[in-house]
Amino acid sequence: MSKVFPDKENILKQIYGVEKPILGMIHLKPLPGAPHYKGDSLDSVIEFALKEVETYLKGGVDGLVIENAWDLPFSRPEDIGHETSAAMAYVSKPIKEESGLPVGINILANGAIPGLAVAKAVGAEFVRVNQWVNAYVANEGIMNGASAKAMRYRSSIKGDEIKIFADVHVKHGSHSIVADRSISEQTRDNIFFDADVLIATGNRTGDATEVSEVQAIKENTNLSVITGSGLTADNASKILKWADGSIVGSWLKKDSLWWNEVDYDRVARLMEEVYKVRESN
């Protein structure tokens, strides 16, 4: 493996202090400005989210990721309004405080700069950015890598403590623009553009990540590699043999539907399998 950037500390271990951390998704109800938002108080969004937090804590997850999942259809980065950033900050602060867990912010679609603003305001540990480098044909159109502007913005707000969790082979769309670049090359691109943790995903929300994709990324980096979709109690031992952790959403919800409430039994089942993997390492 040839170096394309100086080695970094193990950011995942630094943030979570455990092997194979599991990060539960908080899929927020619609926020102001989104088509599905009907004018309800943001306190009702917080109330729903804190119920999710309570269940996740009881089940034993290691961290949380807060996402504006109900803001469908998602805006392009340049069209994400100030109302979204303000609402995300208002809602994320009590989630961070009540949970006591490390928190990541993901503002869709590819809202790296709004995400960094929210993370700085609420003390979140990282932002997830689905398209950090190169270009990609997404549901929202052609999506450019956010890294150059985002890193300069992070510097301007003195936010170096906020880490970048970057998808390598992003789900939901076509990779035709970078079809001539292998996963190994896309991995190296993300490293060269200063990502801190790399994310492997399936084809869409809830789809399992292929072990081969995790392996292809890990073979080309010293950074931590986590999965961003599709982990279940049934495949956890297989995937976590290679992955360094996982963001988990849909499978932890009732009936595996991302818009449903978190199911405690599913969280407990998954974490039981995760503990087995940790003990076996």
pLDDT of residue 173: 60
Q: pLDDT tens digits, the chain, 281 residues: what are they?
A: 667 888 898 999 999 999 999 999 999 999 999 999 999 999 999 999 999 999 999 999 999 999 999 999 999 999 999 999 999 999 999 999 999 999 999 999 999 999 999 999 999 999 999 999 988 888 888 899 999 999 999 999 999 999 999 999 765 566 566 666 788 898 999 999 999 999 998 654 445 778 999 999 999 999 999 999 899 999 999 999 999 999 999 999 999 999 999 999 999 999 999 999 999 97
Beta-strand ranges (E) seen in 91-140 are: 103-106, 126-129, 135-138
Question: Domain 11-280 belongs to what topology?
Answer: TIM Barrel (3.20.20)
pLDDT of residue 203: 53
* Domain coordinates in residue numbering, the chain: 11-280
Residue 71: closest CA among 117, 114, 26, 36: 36
pLDDT of residue 6: 87
pLDDT of residue 178: 62
pLDDT of residue 274: 98
pTM of model > 0.85? yes
SS3 166: strand
pLDDT of residue 210: 86
Contact indicator for 145, 132 with CB cutoff of 8 Å? yes
Within 13 Å and on the Cβ side, how many CA atoms surround 139? 14
SS3 148: helix
Q: How far apart are CA 118 and CA 116, in angstroms?
A: 5
